[in-house]
Each structure stands twice: as structure tokens, then as C-alpha cells.
Structure 1
Amino acid sequence: MFITNVRPWGGDAVDLEISAGRIAAIRTVGTGAVTGDASGRKLDGRGRIALPAFTDVHVHLDSTRIGLPFREHTGSPGVWNMMCNDRKNWRDTPIPYPDVVAGTLERMIARGTTRVRSYAQIDVDCKLERFEAVMAAKERFARAADVEIMAFPQAGLLLEEGTVPLLEEALRAGATTIGGIDPCQLDRDPARHLDIVFGLAEKYGADVDIHLHEPGHLGVFSAELVFERTRALGMQGRVSLSHAYDLANVHPDVTARLMEQMAELDVAWATVAPASGGTQFDLVQMTAAGIRVGLGEDGQRDYWSPYGNCDMLDRTWQLAFTHRLRQDRLIEHCAAIATIGGAAIMDRTVQRLTGPDDRPGLAVGDTADIVIVDGETVTSTVMDRGTDRTVIHAGRLVADGLVVLAEPAA
């Protein structure tokens, strides 16, 4: 496949040659032989910006109302109350629930996301029904996106008997990550909660992701219990903290200690760019310390909140906005986090970001996962969030004009 006249990271225009799913050559526009045909093997980039395709490392595909009518928000504050509201309503959809889940993934791909780590809620209410819907969506769009599934105990591990065997069943059925959530606040037995999570990870060779909404020093306590188990089990590079938005809201020395441990143990951080009223981890400090940072969209217009539109470019804008960033290089850094930053969490062979000026993902030898977007500069693209987008996955044209192709080009 040949992609002509694109500007990688907003730089000079080039032609890209794609072979075996990777970028095989990069040439100044018009300086090399370009062949192809109308089936999609030759693509005119029309001077648009080429970015690595987006990576969403924190999305709940199973918790979505994308494509359904808006409804009044009925949730109450608190994880347990919000979970109960979701549990009460998630089956009430005018079209089959698996189609809602698949439609959400399709919309994400159409907007440029080709790497996804999705949660799948598993509890005594839904059992594996939600997991199976996410698995079906993954299989349906296997040629257009790489999807990892996390077995996630949204209701905790210890409050309802029978949760742990269901999580094991999901791990045997194809989940590659095991989740945990608020070990102190929800289950109120952090050591037992984390022993179960890490025990399952060790047994099934799974990665670990801990949802951490806990405030202040309670969150610090839980995080350091996670670090202890990561070190003891030799799971460096296979553990991530999601949210963790209050770990930077404690004494600066404590935050610095946490960052040192994350860097030492290669514990990644997945943020959804929340509208936090306090201090958040500094993006520049995190990547400069060697910590893998990724971005996600969380729930998608679900029973937890009305937010979410399946557009990681929109969430990139939100990341820059909530971190109060204005300089072009820092807004571009947000785009790097939303693309290659998350990819390095899902695939440890992907080059991680080394600092705020690093712009990897579009060099010879890189996987040809590319989103081509309109804009004068990367910053203008983030600000304007245009709709003229073309999406390449593993060297194949999979979406154009916000529409996923029915049969991706071979």
C-alpha cells in the first residue's frame, strides 16, 4: 500500500510505502515510484496530518448507550451506588445489547482508534454476559482493531459470593488482564483483595489493572500495596494504575516517592483526563521519568454519566484542557500519549515515550496503524477535532470519512 502526500506529526509532506503491515519506506513527495489501484492500495493523503492511530487503554465497551436515545441521569454519588444504577438499567435497550457494544467499538474505529483495552464487568448479576458481548465485538472487528479485554469486578471481589470463580472463567475464556478496584474503600480488605487479583494474574499469566478512586493517603496506601506485590511476583511492566487522580494531591515528597516506585517497577498510568479539582500527575514529569502513560475514554454515555462520544481526539483535547496546557509542544505531547503512549501499555515491544518532545510511531519499521486527519498543525487538529479522517490498521484501510469499511481492503 502507498499513502501519498501526508505530513507525519505535522511535518514535511512525504509518501509512505507500507509492506507486510509496517512502514517500509518514507520518501519526499513525488521522489519515488508509487503504484497502486482503486481498491485502496494507493491512498492520497491530500496534505493532511498523519498520526499514529489512537490507543484507548481505559474504556468500558460493556457500559455504553452510544447509538441509543439520551436518558435522564439517575445515578447517585459513590462507586457502589453508581454500579447499582447501572445494574438496574443496562439490559433496558431498544436494540440487542451486543449490538450496542459492537456499535460503540465501530464508532471508535471510525474516528481513528485501532488499539483498545476494554473492561468487561463481571459480577453475580451479569455473570459473563457483558464479557461475552465485548468478546463478540472484538471478533467482529478483528481486522480493524486490536482489542484486549479485562475481567473487571466493578462490584468488588468480596461483597458478593461467587465473583471470583466468574473472573477465573473469563480469564480462561480469553480475558488477558485482571482488574481490581478501590481495595480499601469498596471491599475494605485491601490485602485480601489484592492477593486475589495478583494470584489470578500469576495463575493465568494476565496483566493487572487497578481502578483507584481512593482519596489522598488511602490511595497512597493501596498503591504501595500494589507495588509490593508487583515486586514480589516479578510483574514489572505488567501492572497499571487507572485514574489514581489523587496520588498527586498529597505532599510533593509522597508523590515523588510514588513516581519513583512506578518508574522502578514499570507500573503504567492510565488516565481518562478527569475534571479533577485538585492536582494531577504532571504529564511531562511522568514520561520523563520513564513511566508509561496512556489515555482512555472511560464509560461511553452510559448509566454513570452522559459523557463520552467514542472520539479519542476529543479526549486528547480534554487531556490538554484539564492539565491547563497551552504550549504547542505540550498539546502535541497529549497527542503522543493518546496514540503511542497507550500503545506501549498494551504492547511492551512498542517504543515508550521518553519525554514531552518525543513523537514516535511513524518511522520505518513501525506498525502501520495510522490516522490521517485534517489540520494545519497537530495543535490545531486537537483544537478543531475535524471529521476528515482516514484510518489504517496493520497496513489496511479500515475506515474513511467516519465510516468503517464493511470489508477492509486487503
Structure 2
Amino acid sequence: MLIVNVRPWGREASDIEIRDGQITAVLPHDPQRADGAEGEVVDGRGRLAMPSFSDVHCHLDSTRVGLPFRPHTGRPGIWGLVMNDREHWREDPPVAERATSLLGRMIERGTTRVRSYAQIDTDCGLERFEGVLAAKEAHADRCDVEIIAFPQAGLLREKGVPELMDQALSSGAAVVGGIDPCTLDRDPVRHLDIVFDLAERHQAPVDIHLHEPGHLGVFSTDLVLERVRALGMQGKVTLSHAYELGNVDEATTRRLTEEFAELDVSMATVAPAQQHNALPLAGLTAAGVRVGLGEDGQRDFWSPYGNGDMLDRTWQLAFSARYRFDELIEHCWAVASRGGAAILDPALPRLTSTADRPGVAAGDAADLVLVAGDTVTAAVMDRGTDRTVLHAGRVVADGLRLV
């Protein structure tokens, strides 16, 4: 394939050569080059050529995108929200139908790598996991999907959940999930022992939801770090959310940041509105911590927010971090694209500064989104609909429609 007349990361007009799903050359734009092209030619029309998005924290199994709005009925706290979802999720079309539709919408808007949770509990068994697996298979040629076996209601509160997790991991789930070891299961040692035992048994990475506040969150985090070090799981563990780890003393947050970098523990954020307690994005990047972005639940029984568009969520990351300078807003796109990709594939290099602009160079995977915009910052602010999406060197969506 040859993509003509695009501006990688907003730089000068270029032509991008692609072979076998990989970028082989980025050349100064030559209007005559298309005449001698061997394969498909894509006209970039002067748009930006950007690395496509990686949504590393979403819940395909709970989405209601495309369905009529309903009043929010969730009760306060994680358990109240879990039970609200449990009471209502069967009222909607099957999980496979909803998850497949949302995943297609995400691809149309520029996402080609996804890590999705699939709820595992005694209420749904493997039904929600199987729905996400069906969505993954439906879009296998358009998007890479990892499924997290996720004990949303805890591992210990209901009998038989670890066994269901084990079944899911034997049936196509790729990541072991955990959640709030102290506040939900109230037995952090046993909870994490089960998580890491499953990870060792299935040779799978780990992703821990952490909503716990302040020093309690630090306590749970230290238990995770202890196991990463003891089991040699560097590069295989992600902490999701971790909203409050910046809400303790400066020495502790500095220590945590340094240990995350040393043990290659990554972080996934969903750009919550209250970022003042979170570890600072630029500081994590400077320390060498892998950070990715996700949309979390999208218009579900937890929240009415979310629309399947990672460009919207990139705007939200910049806005909630109070970024105004171009370099920092562009960095948000780097986090939303290659930052997340480096969590899914630890062999990819980490972002090391807010000036890193990876993903559109010879040797990179040809996972790209072409989008209109005078600059990258303009594209984030405007979030236009003129987008062409490539996965593994193939056009998979154009003009917000699947190809």
C-alpha cells in the first residue's frame, strides 16, 4: 500500500509505504509517486497521519451505546453499582450483540487495539465473557482484542468465582483481573494470592482495578509490587484507575513512581474528572512508567458517559490534566495510542518524555488513523469525522464506517 500526501504527527507532507502490515518508508511527498505504485493507493488529502488508538481499559460487556437512554439507577459505592448492573443487564439485547456493535463503532473512530474486561461472577458465569469473545471474533481482521477475566464482584464474596476465572482463562481470556483487594474482598493477601496464582498457572499478565483511597491504596499497591518482584513479573502487571495514589505524602508518591518504573508496572487511566489526586501524567512518563488510556464503561448501568470515540477521550485526558501547550496535548495522543500499545506489548519501547512521537516511522506497525486538522492539537480539539483507519496495513474504516 502507498498512502500519499499525509503529515505524520503534523509534520511536512509525506508518502508512507507499507508492506506486510508494516511501515517500510516515510518519504517526502511526491505527486508523481502514486503513478508507479504496485498496490493500493490511499489519498491522504493532506490529513494528519497518526498512530491509531489503543483502548486499554473498557468494558465491552456492559455497554448500552445505541440503545435508548434510561434513568441512572446506580446506588453509591462500588458494590451498589455492581448490584445495579446485576439487576438490569439482562433487560437489554445479548452481550455479544451489544459488544460487537460497540467494538465496530470504536474501530470506525480509530481504535485498533483493545483490552476489554469481561465480568465473571456467580450471576453471569461465563456468559458475559463469551459475549466479548464473540465480538473479538467478529472483528478479528480489524482490531486486536485482549480479554480480561474480571471478578467485578470480588473473588471471595461469592463461592466459585476463582474456578470460573480459571475456566475463562482456559477458554480465551488473556489477562487475569483483580479489584480492590482491601475494600471489596477485605482479604488482600488471599485475593492477590488467587490473582497471581491464576497468572502463574496460565502464564498471563495481571490487571488490577484500584479505587482504594490514599494510604489504603498504597498498602494494596505495595502488596502487588511485592508479588511482581518475587515472581519476576516485570512488564506483566497493570494498575487501572489508582486515582488516589497522588493523594499521600510526596515521598511515598515518588517512591511508588520509581518502583513502577523499576518493575515495569504500567498504569491505565480513564481520564477521570478529578485528576488532582492522581499521579501526574508527565511525571510518570518522565520516570519511564508505561501509561495507557481507556474509555471504561460506555453508557452502561454505571454511568451515562462514553461513546466509543477514543479521540473524545484523548481530549478529556488533556482537559482533565489542564494541558494547554501543544507538546502536552500531543503527548495525550501518544499515551492514547502507542502508550497503550506498549502495555499490550511490553516489547514496544516506553514513552520517555512528553516530546516522544512514536508510531509513524519505518519499522512501525501500520496501525494508523488519518484525520483532518491543521495541527495535532487542532485535531484533538475539533475531533472531526473525516477519518480513515488502518489496521495491519489494511483500511478497515473510512468516514466513520467499517470497510
Q: Does 1:224 align with 2:222?
A: yes
SS of the equivalent of 2:10 reads coil
Moved over 3 A (4+): 35-38
Aligned to 1:97: 95
Cα separation, 1, equivalents of 2:2 and 2:58: 32
Residue 115 of structure 1: CA displacement? 0.2
Aligned to 1:80: 79
Aligned to 1:65: 64
Contact 1:351 1:360 in 2 (8 A): no
Counterpart residue identity of residue 7, structure 2: R
Aligned to 1:335: 333
Aligned residues: 403
Cα separation, 2, equivalents of 1:386 and 1:252: 40
Residue 282 of structure 1: CA displacement? 1.1
Contact 1:2 1:36 in 2 (8 A): no
Cα separation, 2, equivalents of 1:252 and 1:351: 28
Aligned to 1:29: 29
Cα separation, 2, equivalents of 1:332 and 1:188: 41
Contact 2:104 2:139 in 1 (8 A): yes
Contact 1:109 1:399 in 2 (8 A): yes
Cα separation, 2, equivalents of 1:31 and 1:390: 20
Aligned to 1:165: 163
SS of the equivalent of 2:60 reads strand
Cα separation, 2, equivalents of 1:277 and 1:81: 23
Which stretch of the first structure deviates more once superposed, 278-287 or 42-51?
A: 278-287
Aligned to 2:17: 17
Q: Does 1:8 align with 2:8?
A: yes
Aligned to 1:385: 383
Cα separation, 2, equivalents of 1:191 and 1:36: 63
Contact 1:300 1:306 in 2 (8 A): yes
Cα separation, 2, equivalents of 1:147 and 1:242: 17
Cα separation, 1, equivalents of 2:205 and 2:275: 31
SS of the equivalent of 2:315 reads helix
Residue 151 of structure 1: CA displacement? 0.2
Q: 1:195 aligns with which of 177, 186, 193?
A: 193
Cα separation, 2, equivalents of 1:166 and 1:267: 26
Q: Could you report, residue by residue, the CA deviation over 1:193-247 in whole angstroms, capped at 9, with x for unpaired residues?
A: 0000001000100100110000000000000000000000000000010000100
Residue 284 of structure 1: CA displacement? 1.1
Contact 1:35 1:42 in 2 (8 A): no
Residue 352 of structure 1: CA displacement? 1.8
Gap change, CA 1:192 and 1:397, over 3 Å in 2: same
Aligned to 2:309: 311
Gap change, CA 1:241 and 1:277, over 3 Å in 2: closer
TM-score by length of 1: 0.96
Q: Which runs of 5+ in 2 are unaligned?
A: none
Contact 2:94 2:131 in 1 (8 A): no
Gap change, CA 1:89 and 1:253, over 3 Å in 2: same
Matches within 5 A, 1:7-406: 7-30=7-30, 33-34=33-34, 41-93=40-92, 95-276=93-274, 278-405=276-403
Contact 2:56 2:114 in 1 (8 A): yes
Counterpart residue identity of residue 48, structure 1: R
Counterpart residue identity of residue 362, structure 2: V
Cα separation, 1, equivalents of 2:368 and 2:348: 14
Cα separation, 1, equivalents of 2:289 and 2:116: 21
Residue 328 of structure 1: CA displacement? 0.7
Counterpart residue identity of residue 306, structure 1: P
Residue 90 of structure 1: CA displacement? 0.8
Residue 354 of structure 1: CA displacement? 1.2
Counterpart residue identity of residue 315, structure 1: R
Contact 2:62 2:95 in 1 (8 A): no
Contact 1:55 1:114 in 2 (8 A): yes
SS of the equivalent of 2:212 reads coil
Aligned identity (percent) is: 64
Counterpart residue identity of residue 76, structure 2: P
Residue 25 of structure 1: CA displacement? 1.2
- The CA RMSD over aligned residues, in Å, is 1.3
Residue 34 of structure 1: CA displacement? 2.7
Aligned to 1:408: none
SS of the equivalent of 1:79 reads helix
Residue 42 of structure 1: CA displacement? 0.9
Residue 98 of structure 1: CA displacement? 1.4
Cα separation, 2, equivalents of 1:199 and 1:256: 29
Cα separation, 1, equivalents of 2:269 and 2:221: 15
SS of the equivalent of 2:297 reads strand
Cα separation, 1, equivalents of 2:179 and 2:7: 41
Q: Could you report, residue by residue, the CA deviation over 1:338-390 in whole angstroms, capped at 9, with x for unpaired residues?
A: 00000000011222211100000111010000000111000011111111100
Residue 32 of structure 1: CA displacement? 6.7
Which stretch of the first structure deviates more once superposed, 184-193 or 276-285?
A: 276-285
SS of the equivalent of 1:148 reads strand
